Amino acid sequence: MRLLHDIFYSSAAAVVLMTLLFSTAQVTAQVRSSSNYQLESDSLNVGGGLSGSASYSLESTAGEVATGRSSSTNFSLQAGYQQLGEVFMSLAGSANVVMSPEIAGLTGGTSNGSTTFTVITDSPTGYEVTIQSSAAPAMQSVGGASIANYNLGDTSDFAFTIPSASAVFGFSPEGVDVADAFLDDTSTCGVGTSETAGACWAGVSTTPVTIAESTSPNQPVGATTTIQFQVGIASGGGVESGVYTATTTITALPL
């Protein structure tokens, strides 16, 4: 039996090496709002507007003063209507993951694989990355058989544990920006600040799970996160022979 795990980056294509997201940063107040709209800020100027051609688009203002980008050791200022809320984000990932080795359905065993992604952003409040599956359970065969998701509780398990006479599919993120739920105190996940390699396992759900986050910009170096995947089949797990595939989406958003 061969276990195959496909990673998709917000796309129906088999491999997307880079996704660019341009979005406004999160705001906590608006200058005007109604039941249908809200204005984050207003602009006092004498002209400008939106114009475009077949190849370009231009949004401009005229008459604003003291605008542009400036910074000091501790602060960064983006003054003016055109500077407000413009965030750069890059998400670069690797190819599909093929789990290895193949697992004998009767005797059981484990199969492993991994992928990495790098997020680069100038968002002053950082970013977060989530993972979710397109189906439940995530790992399924063409014939309709499936492998159960690993523990979907509120906390991740420090060690990957295969329940008796069953089969499970789980993941563990590793990197400098791993979310708190996957940090540990060298024995328990969700507490402490350690990032023990090969620890803190959870299941991929159709509900997004935050796996990496930061509260500050990281441009131009960025931050890389590795996702370890594992399938475990206990002796007598009762898994049908076949090729199993899991499709997941990794999403990066500025905060």
Beta-carbon contacts of 231 under 8 Å, excluding residues fewer than 6 positions away, are 3, 99, 103, 110, 111, 112, 139, 147, 167, 168, 169, 244
Per-residue pLDDT of the chain (255 residues; tens, 9 = 90+): 334 433 333 322 222 121 112 222 223 344 567 777 766 566 677 777 778 888 888 777 777 777 777 778 877 777 776 666 567 888 888 668 888 888 876 778 898 989 899 999 988 889 999 988 888 998 888 888 899 999 888 789 999 999 998 999 999 999 999 999 999 999 999 999 999 999 999 999 999 999 999 999 998 899 999 999 999 999 888 888 888 888 888 889 888
For the chain, the average pLDDT equals: 79
In angstroms, rounded to a whole number, what is the distance separating the alpha carbons of residues 7 and 95? 7
**39 CA to centre of own chain:** 29
The single-letter code of the amino acid at 223 is A
Question: Which tokens hold the place of 37?
Answer: 């709209």
3-state secondary structure of 237: coil
**166 CA to centre of own chain:** 29
In angstroms, rounded to a whole number, what is the distance separating the alpha carbons of residues 192 and 209? 19
